[in-house]
């Protein structure tokens, strides 16, 4: 969790600003229409993981790994959200949280 702590201020700011610019540009959100699939939603997940009110599990992994890593959230936002999401993916993998089945199919084909 230590590696994610440096993003706490970003996550807090994202939650409080509530602009949602990343939602309209996010491919995952445009398909699934749930806030937790947007970059803002992922930053909210990160914040609650850091505060201990949310434990990393398969549902969290599903939301985080739905990110296509396209970087469009960085275009919409002043924060480097894609870097935080990448670190969240690494953290979940390192914690041996089961990854989404679809992600595993894609990653084994490349």
Each residue of 47-93: pLDDT tens digit? Answer: 999 999 999 999 999 999 999 999 999 999 888 899 999 999 999 99
Query: Chain-wide mean pLDDT for the chain?
Result: 90
**pLDDT tens-digit map of 25-53:** 999 999 999 999 999 999 999 999 999 99
Specify whether the CB–CB gap between 26 and 73 falls below 8 A. yes
**Burial class of 98 by CB neighbour count within 10 A (0 to 12, 13 to 18, 19+):** exposed
The domain that holds 42 is classified in CATH as 1.10.1060
- Overall number of domains in the chain: 1
Q: How many CA atoms lie within 13 A of 17 on its CB side?
A: 16
- Residue span of the structural domain in which 86 resides: 2-109
What separation in angstroms does the CA of 25 have from each of 8, 59, 70, 95, 97?
Answer: 23, 23, 10, 30, 28
Helices 81-94 and 39-51: crossing angle in degrees, nearest 10, is 50
């Amino acid at each position: 969790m230590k590696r994610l702590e440096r993003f706490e201020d970003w996550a807090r700011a994202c939650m409080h600003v509530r602009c949602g610019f990343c939602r309209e540009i996010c491919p995952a959100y445009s398909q699934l229409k749930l806030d937790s699939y947007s970059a803002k939603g992922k930053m909210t997940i990160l914040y609650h993981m850091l505060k201990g009110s949310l434990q990393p599990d398969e549902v969290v992994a599903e939301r985080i790994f739905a990110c296509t890593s396209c970087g469009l959230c960085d275009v919409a936002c002043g924060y480097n959200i894609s870097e935080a999401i990448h670190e969240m993916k690494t953290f979940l993998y390192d914690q041996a949280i089961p990854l989404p089945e679809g992600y595993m199919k894609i990653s084994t084909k490349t």
